[in-house]
Structure 1
Amino acid sequence: MTPYLLMAASALVLALSGTPVMRLVALRFGVIDQPAARKIHANPVPLLGGAAIYIAFIVVLLLFGDRRYIHEVIGIFIGASLMSLMGVLDDRWGLGSYIKLGGQLLAAGILIYSGVQVRVWGGWLDIAVTIIWVVGITNAMNLLDNMDGLSGGIALIAAVFFTLLSALSDQYLVGTLAAALAGGCAGFLVYNWNPAQIFMGDTGSLFLGFLLAAVGIKLRFPSNSDTITWMIPVLVMGVPVFDTTLVFLSRLRRGKNPLTTPGRDHISHRLALLTGSRREAVLLCYLLAGALGLGAIFITQANVIEATVVAIAVGATMLYGLWFFEFRNGGVRQP
């Protein structure tokens, strides 16, 4: 764990020092998120916080990356850089949803070409599942970025658990990627906690989603069957997966486009209505992410029956959550 702590600490220092710089850059070039009826902030907030996470991550990757994995690292680097660049363009000028989807598909293709893909069934099915996972998690993290400290904090928790899981299975590449990301997110979160001084923007959320998806694919537990292994990254990314499912269900029920329709219909907004506090809502999301991460660690030591019981319990809980928030609790209530 010592090398991973050093990587995380290095990324933390870089993000702590780089985020204020990116805030000044955003103000200088007008990359600012303006208040709107569908948004919860009342004052303009600079974007580009995600660029500080990206830079911290890349520097640590260059310093600590293992050349044995150079082909895969190059693929991850190019895909992550594409997502970050596309996010910058979207934050500054706005990109259409189809352009962003095209960029995500291209990044997923680069990942597959570099050898980072799901390997369960073989052939085109593995490729299709890889594309769905990468595009799905990338968009899930983008959708989750709707409240101060939420997306960055969830990414931090996921990265910490991926680091722990990599240490348990002795997977240096996964540990390097996850530890660098954890440190970068922690440094950014200092400035993004409520009330936020800067937002990560799509520059950060698209990058984080892509990278976490790639890390989830690379994580392997050879001692466990494929029946168990696939559950681990899904549990670690459980909060964004649940949030996206809830948002899609809610918007489709209302006859809205789930990808292009903004709204306060996320799990964070609904928890804020229940608790009366945005900070408490975010902390509850953190708690849920932590519980799911612990479940992922348990599964690594479980047999197929035990893992299946955990998966059924988590699935049933999420189904109850969908019913509670969307049906029992009256669906979406806009202020």
Structure 2
Amino acid sequence: MIHYAPLISALVSILLISFLLSSKAGKSIQDIPNERSLHSAPIPRIGGVGLMAGTLSGWIFVPGVWVWWAVLPMLILCGVSLHDDMRGLPVRQRLMAHFVAAVLWIAGSGLLTQYGIWVGVVALLFVVWMTNLYNFMDGSDGLAGGMALFGFACYGVAALIAHDDTLAMQNFCIAAAALGFLYHNFPPAKVFMGDAGSIPLGFLASAMGLWGWQQGHWAAWFPLLVFSPFIVDASATLVKRSLRGAKVTEAHREHYYQRAIQLGWGHRKVALAEYVLMASAGVSALWALRRDDMVLVIAPLWLAIYIILMRWLDARWLTRAGG
């Protein structure tokens, strides 16, 4: 039954979101456009509930994945974020939940015992940052769901290469649930995932990446390269805004994917271009997985690619502003 787990995740995700869209929740929990939005009409933001339910449904058929320090933080983040989607929460309360989830994961996974306090601190900051940046990058149709599909599928393939079927299926279930979500979210989106989807996905991206590293399945650079399309955009934008003195917790439209849409690409073209980037980063990471020396070539190559793309978009944006 374990081999059918991803299929179950995809089906539950598709069907539950379909049900929610026709329910009272779908009509009451909506993303209302404002001056920082990239959409013009209210869109239900309950897709994350279906995505998380799909993930957990598939996990039921995967022995060994129901450990408290993986599932409990995920449920806490989903619950707190759903409340935020419905009624709104202060930034401080949201961040507190993110730190609690990260501490639970690190304490339960044995990372502190295995590597010590300083690695634990770095891991804590990494988990909290990934949790937040995934939310920052969830602002365009098909984008966050696509990163989940490609990113967790790459984790799954890497786990299979390492002969860890449990971790592989755990990640394939997340990817499959994301595929089910994309059925409703690919441009033009009929539903958004909301914080109830993006926040747990960011947590899982870091947690699964750390766990694979702890188990010796991949090097520390592997998760960073797999999720680099999100990490680079979110991190570069944060640095630029910080240097300018802007309030980093304030919503904005300065991410590179947002600017590409504002430059006239549209949601569909941006999503497809990002999918090429995500797939390329993932495949190159898998190719270098058993060739650690190749990361010395691949890492500078990807750094150059991202710098060229960002400089090109910056130049186009300045031309638009000046024209």
The two structures have a TM-score, normalised by structure 2, of 0.91
Q: 1:251 aligns with which of 235, 241, 261?
A: 241
Q: 1:314 aligns with which of 297, 302, 306?
A: 302
| 2:222 matches 1:232 | yes
Q: 1:62 to 1:322 in 2, by over 3 A?
A: same
| 2:95 matches 1:101 | yes
Identify the residue that residue 261 of structure 2 maps to in structure 1: 272
Q: 1:3 to 1:59 in 2, by over 3 A?
A: closer
Structure 1 segments of 4+ aligned residues over 4 angstroms from their partners:
221-224, 331-334
1:332 CA displacement: 9.2
Aligned amino acid, residue 290 of structure 2: Q
Identify the residue that residue 14 of structure 1 maps to in structure 2: 12
Q: 1:22 to 1:311 in 2, by over 3 A?
A: same
Structure 2: distance between partners of 1:198 and 1:328: 30
1:302 CA displacement: 0.8
1:172 CA displacement: 2.7
Identify the residue that residue 85 of structure 2 maps to in structure 1: 91
| CA deviation map 1:112-160 (0-9, x unaligned) | 121164888x311111111111111111110110011110111111111
| CA deviation map 1:229-259 (0-9, x unaligned) | 011111111111011123213322442122x
Identify the residue that residue 81 of structure 1 maps to in structure 2: 75
1:327 CA displacement: 6.0
Q: Is the 8 A contact 2:9 2:56 kept in 1?
A: no
Aligned amino acid, residue 298 of structure 2: V
Aligned counterparts, 1:155-304, within 5 A: 155-220=148-213, 229-258=219-248, 260-274=249-263, 276-304=265-293
Structure 1: distance between partners of 2:94 and 2:116: 26
Q: Percent identity?
A: 23
Structure 2: distance between partners of 1:135 and 1:223: 22
Structure 2: distance between partners of 1:292 and 1:28: 35
Q: 2:318 aligns with which of 311, 315, 330?
A: 330
1:81 CA displacement: 0.4
- The more displaced of 312-321 and 13-22 is 312-321
Q: 1:223 to 1:247 in 2, by over 3 A?
A: closer
1:217 CA displacement: 0.8
Structure 2: distance between partners of 1:143 and 1:177: 25
Aligned amino acid, residue 292 of structure 1: A
Identify the residue that residue 35 of structure 2 maps to in structure 1: 37
Alignment partner of 1:315: what SS?
helix
| 2:116 matches 1:123 | yes
Identify the residue that residue 62 of structure 1 maps to in structure 2: 60
Structure 2: distance between partners of 1:192 and 1:24: 15
Aligned amino acid, residue 247 of structure 1: T
Gaps of 5+ in 1: none
The two structures have a TM-score, normalised by structure 1, of 0.88
| CA deviation map 1:13-61 (0-9, x unaligned) | 1111111222244646721111111101111111111000111111211
Identify the residue that residue 48 of structure 2 maps to in structure 1: 50
Q: Is the 8 A contact 2:26 2:46 kept in 1?
A: no
Q: 1:192 to 1:27 in 2, by over 3 A?
A: same
Aligned amino acid, residue 205 of structure 1: S
Alignment partner of 2:61: what SS?
helix
- The number of residues matched between the two structures is 322
- RMSD of aligned alpha carbons: 2.5
Alignment partner of 2:247: what SS?
coil
| CA deviation map 1:169-199 (0-9, x unaligned) | 1123321221110111111111111121111
1:273 CA displacement: 4.2
Aligned amino acid, residue 175 of structure 1: A
Gaps of 5+ in 2: none
Structure 2: distance between partners of 1:191 and 1:128: 38
Aligned counterparts, 1:138-153, within 5 A: 138-153=131-146
Alignment partner of 2:68: what SS?
helix
